Structure 1
Amino acid sequence: MNSNAIKVWDISGGIHPPENKQQSLRYGLEKAPLPERLILPLQQHIGARAEPVVQIGDRVLKGQLLAEARGLVSCPLHAPTSGTVVEIDLAPYPHASGLPELAIILDSDGEDRWIERQPVADYRTLEPATLMQMIREAGVSGLGGAGFPSAVKLNARPEQKIHTLIINGTECEPYITADDTAMRYRADQVVAGIEILMHIIRPEQVLIGIEDNKPEAIAAMRAAVGERPLQVVVFPTKYPSGGEKQLIQILTGKEVPSGGLPADIGMLCQNIGTLLAIHDAILLGQPLISRIVTLTGDALQHPTNVEALIGTPVSDLLAFAGLQPERLQRLVVGGPMMGFTLENPVAPIIKTSNCLIAATREELPPPPPALPCIRCGLCAEACPADLLPQQLHWFAMGKEYDQLKRQHLFDCIECGACSYVCPSSIPLVQYYRAAKAEIRALELQHLKAEHSRQRFEQRQARLQREAEQKELERQARAEKAARLKAAKEAEAAQAPKATSETTDTPAAAAAAKPPALSDEQKQLKIAAATAQMAVKKANKQLAANPDNTELQAQIAELEKAAQAAQAAFEAATGGNAEAPAVRTAPSKETL
Structure 2
Amino acid sequence: MKDKTFSFKGGIHPPYSKELTESISLTQALPPKIVYIPLQQHIGAPCDPIVKSGDKVKIGQKIGDSQAFVSVPIHSSVSGTVKNIIDFPTPTGSKVKTIVIESDDSYEICDTVKPMGDINNLTSKEIIEIIREAGITGMGGATFPTHVKLSPPPEKKIDTVILNGAECEPYLTSDHRLMVEHPQKVVFGLKAIMKAVNVNKGIIGIEDNKPDAIKNIKKIIANEPSIQDAVLKTKYPQGGEKRLIDAITGRKVPPGALPMDVGIVVNNVGTASAIADSIQKGMPLIERIVTVTGNGIVQPSNMIVKIGTPFKEVIEQCGGYSGVPGKVISGGPMMGFAQYTTEVPVIKGTSGILVINQFDAYSEIEQPCIKCARCVDVCPVGLLPIKIANYSQKSKWDEAEEYNALYCIECGSCSFICPAKRPLVQRIRLVKGEILAKKRSK
Normalised-by-shorter TM-score class: over 0.9
Query: CA RMSD of the aligned region, Å?
Result: 1.5
Q: Secondary structure at the match of 2:358?
A: coil
Distance 1:89 1:393 in 2: 37
Tell me whether 1:134 sits opposite 2:130 in the alignment. yes
Query: What is the TM-score normalised by the length of structure 1?
Result: 0.73
Q: 2:110 aligns with which of 107, 115, 120?
A: 115
Q: Deviations over 1:64-107 (max 9, x none)?
A: 11001241111101110100000101112112x3x322100000
Does residue 358 (structure 1) correspond to residue 379 (structure 2)? The answer is no
Q: Do the aligned partners of 2:141 and 2:350 also contact (CA within 8 Å) in 1?
A: no
Which residue matches 2:305? Answer: 308
Distance of 1:403 and 1:430 partners within structure 2: 17
Contact 2:165 2:269 (C-alpha < 8 Å) held by counterparts = yes
Q: When the two structures are superposed, what TM-score results if normalisation uses the length of structure 2?
A: 0.97
Pair 1:176 & 2:172 matched: yes
> What is the CA-CA distance between 1:9 and the residue it aligns to?
4.7
Alignment of 1:122-201 (within 5 A): 122-201=118-197
Aligned partner letter, 1:207: I
1:323 Cα deviation from its structure 2 partner: 1.2
Correspondence list, 1:162-241, <5 A? 162-228=158-224, 229-241=226-238
CA–CA distance in structure 2, aligned partners of residues 441 and 162 of structure 1: 33
SS in structure 1 opposite 2:309? coil
- Residues 15 and 417, structure 1, Cα contact 8 Å, conserved in 2: yes
The structure that is strand-richer by fraction is 2
C-alpha displacement of 1:3? 9.1
Residue 326 of structure 1, CA deviation: 3.8
One-letter amino acid matched to 2:177: T
Task: Choose which of 49, 54, 58 in structure 2 pairs with 1:52.
Answer: 49
Aligned position for 2:97: 102
Structure 1 residue 443 corresponds to structure 2 residue 439: yes
Instruction: Give the letter aligned to residue 389 of structure 2.
Output: H
Give the structure with higher Rg (CA).
Answer: 1
Which stretch has the larger CA shift, 386-395 or 14-23?
386-395
2: distance between equivalents of 1:3 and 1:213?
A: 14
Contact between 1:9 and 1:253, CA under 8 Å: does it hold in 2? no
**Structure 2 counterpart SS, 1:237:** coil
Q: Percent identity?
A: 39
Greater shift in the superposed pair: 320-329 or 285-294: 320-329
* Structure 2 stretches lacking a partner, 5+ long: none
Which letter maps to 1:91? Answer: F
| 1:405 Cα deviation after fit | 2.4
1:134: how far off?
A: 1.2
Give the Cα–Cα distance (whole angstroms) in 1 for the partners of residues 114 and 2 of structure 2. Answer: 37
How far apart, CA to CA, are the structure 2 residues paired with 1:344 and 1:414? 23
1:250 aligns to 2:247 (yes or no)? yes
Whole-angstrom distance in 2 between the partners of 1:369 and 1:377: 19
- Structure 1's consecutive aligned runs of 4 or more residues displaced over 4 angstroms after TM superposition are none
Is 2:15 the partner of 1:13? no
One-letter code of the match for 1:110?
Answer: D
Deviation string for 1:401-428 (max 9, x for gaps)?
Answer: 3332222112111100100011111100
For 1:124 and 1:402, the matched residues in 2 are separated by 52
How far apart are the structure 2 equivalents of 1:376 and 1:38?
A: 49
Question: Is residue 323–residue 357 contact of structure 2 (8 Å, CA) maintained in 1?
Answer: no
Amino acid at match of 2:202: V
Q: Report if aligned partners of 1:3, 1:233 keep a CA contact under 8 Å in 2.
A: no
Cα drift, residue 235 of structure 1: 2.0
Equivalent pairs counted in the alignment come to: 440
Q: What residue number does 1:298 align with? A: 295
Structure 1 partner of 2:84 = 87
Distance 2:376 2:87 in 1: 42
Q: 1:265 aligns with which of 262, 282, 290?
A: 262
Matched, 1:375 2:371: yes
Q: Conserved in 2, the CA contact under 8 Å of 1:9 and 1:252?
A: no
How far apart, in 1, do the equivalents of 2:382 and 2:271 lie? Answer: 29
Whose helix fraction is larger, Structure 1's or Structure 2's? 1
The equivalent of 2:342 in structure 1 is 345
CA deviations on 1:336-386 (whole Å, 9 max, x unpaired) are 011111111111010000000111134x43221212111111111111111
1:423 aligned to 2:400? Answer: no
